[in-house]
C-alpha cells in the first residue's frame, strides 16, 4: 500500500553532494511507504557523475524519484555572505527562488538542508496544517541572543527560526510574491544580513511562521552545556528530543568535514547511514583555507611541546548517541 506523497526540496553545490546524498538515503530508509519526489536544485559545480550518484541512491527504492533543477550560481554573486563561515555555502540562497523553480501544481514542499539526517517518518511533519502561514520551522539554537533581533530590528518576542528544515506553503509564497519580498529586503537591508537566507526568511516572514517542535530540527546547540536559546521555554521539549530526534541537524561538528570544532555527540548517526551508501569510503572533506591549515599545523606543534593546551573544554552535555 502506497503511503503519503511527499515533495522534498534540497539544494546543493559540489561541496554538499555527499552529505546531501546520505541525508536523502536516510529519508528513504525511514519513509519506505511514502511516495517521495526529491526536487534537487544544483548549480554548474555539480557534475553529471554526482547527479547520477544522487539519483541512484534514492531510485533503488521503488517509490522514490529525483528531479533536477539547474540554477546559475552567478545569480547570487552579490548577495551578502560570511567569507569566514566556510560551513555555509552560497547555495543556501537557492531556496529563496523556489516559486520560480518548482512547478505551479505543487502547493507545498519540505525543504531539508544537506547537513541533516532523518531518523523517523516524516508523515506527521508533512501533514502539519499551514493554513495562513508562509512556512513552518523550528526555533534556532541561538534564538535567545538579543543581538540577532537588534541586528534585524524586530522584537525578540517574535522569535528567530532555523532555516535548515522548512515546511513551505508555496501557494502562500506565490500569492504574496515572496521572491520579490526577498529581493527587496536584500537590496534595502544588505548590511543587516549575517546568516544569509536564514536572516532574510526571518525578517520577511515575521508574522507568517508556525513554530514546530524541536525534534524536527535538532541542532547541535540543543546539546550545549550553556544554551543560547530560551532554556525554560524549551526545556522539556529539548530533553525529550535529545533521546530520539526525528531530524538531526549538524549545524557544527559536521562528521564529513576535516575541521577543528568539537566532536559532535551524534556523529555515529551520520556514519550509520553513510556506510550504506556509495559514499561509504569517502575521506573527510577539507575546505579550510591555506592559512587555516597552517595555523592548525603550528598549533599542533605548540601543543606537542606543551606550549598550548591540547583541547578546549567539551561544550556538550553528557548524552548517549541516538544510533
CA atoms lying within 13 Å on the CB side of residue 57: 30
Q: What is the pTM of this model?
A: 0.91
Q: How far is CA 305 from the centre of its chain?
A: 39
**CATH fold group of domain 5-304:** Spore Coat Polysaccharide Biosynthesis Protein SpsA; Chain A (3.90.550)
Helix 178-188 / helix 196-204 crossing angle, nearest 10 deg: 110
Residues paired with residue 10 on neighbouring β-strands, in sequence order: 40
Residues paired with residue 65 on neighbouring β-strands, in sequence order: 37
Residue 83 confidence (pLDDT): 47
208: its cell numbers: 507568517
Question: Where residue 300 falls among pLDDT bands split at 50, 70, 90?
Answer: confident
pLDDT at 174 over 80: yes
Distance CA 227, CA 142 (A): 8
42-56: pLDDT as tens digits: 999 999 999 999 999
Residue 93 confidence (pLDDT): 85
CB atoms inside a 10 Å sphere around CB 85: 11
Residues in the chain: 323
56-105: pLDDT as tens digits: 999 999 999 999 999 887 777 767 764 444 445 567 788 999 999 999 99
pLDDT at 2 over 70: no
Mean pLDDT for 164-191 is 97
Distance CA 87, CA 15 (A): 9
107-160: pLDDT as tens digits: 999 999 999 999 999 999 999 999 999 999 999 999 999 999 999 999 999 999
Distance CA 274, CA 25 (A): 8
Q: Which of 270, 236, 5 has its CA nearest to residue 118?
A: 270
Amino acid at each position: 500500500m502506497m503511503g503519503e506523497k511527499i515533495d522534498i526540496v534540497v539544494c546543493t553545490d559540489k561541496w554538499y553532494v555527499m552529505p546531501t546524498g546520505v541525508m536523502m538515503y536516510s529519508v528513504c530508509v525511514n519513509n519506505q511507504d511514502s511516495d517521495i519526489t526529491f526536487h534537487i536544485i544544483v548549480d554548474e559545480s555539480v557534475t553529471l557523475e554526482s547527479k547520477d550518484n544522487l539519483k541512484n541512491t534514492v531510485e533503488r527504492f521503488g517509490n522514490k524519484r529525483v528531479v533536477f533543477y539547474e540554477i546559475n550560481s552567478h545569480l547570487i554573486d552579490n548577495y551578502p555572505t560570511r567569507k569566514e563561515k566556510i560551513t555555509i555555502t552560497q547555495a543556501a540562497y537557492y531556496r529563496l527562488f523556489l516559486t520560480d523553480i518548482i512547478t505551479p501544481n505543487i502547493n507545498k514542499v519540505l525543504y531539508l538542508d544537506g547537513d541533516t539526517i532523518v531518523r523517523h517518518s516524516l508523515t506527521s511533519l508533512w501533514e502539519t496544517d499551514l493554513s495562513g502561514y508562509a512556512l513552518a520551522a523550528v526555533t534556532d539554537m541561538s534564538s535567545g541572543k538579543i543581538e540577532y533581533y537588534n541586528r534585524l530590528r524586530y522584537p525578540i518576542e517574535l522569535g528567530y527560526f532555523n532555516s535548515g528544515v522548512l515546511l513551505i506553503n508555496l501557494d502562500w509564497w506565490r500569492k504574496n510574491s515572496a521572491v520579490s519580498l526577498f529581493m527587496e529586503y536584500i537590496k534595502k537591508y544588505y548590511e543587516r544580513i549575517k546568516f544569509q537566507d536564514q536572516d532574510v526568511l526571518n525578517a520577511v516572514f515575521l508574522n507568517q511562521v508556525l513554530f514546530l517542535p524541536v525534534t524536527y530540527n535538532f541542532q547541535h546547540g540543543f546539546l550545549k552545556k550553556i544554551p543560547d536559546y530560551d532554556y525554560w521555554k524549551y526545556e522539556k521539549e529539548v530533553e525529550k528530543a535529545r533521546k530520539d530526534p526525528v531530524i538531526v541537524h549538524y549545524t557544527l561538528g559536521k562528521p564529513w568535514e576535516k575541521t577543528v570544532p568539537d566532536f559532535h555527540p551524534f556523529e555515529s548517526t551520520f556514519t550509520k547511514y553513510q556506510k550504506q551508501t556509495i559514499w561509504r569510503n569517502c575521506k573527510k572533506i577539507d575546505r579550510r583555507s591555506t592559512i587555516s591549515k597552517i595555523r592548525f599545523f603550528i598549533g599542533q606543534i605548540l601543543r606537542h611541546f606543551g606550549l598550548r593546551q591540547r583541547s578546549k573544554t567539551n561544550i556538550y552535555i553528557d548524552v548517549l548517541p541516538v544510533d
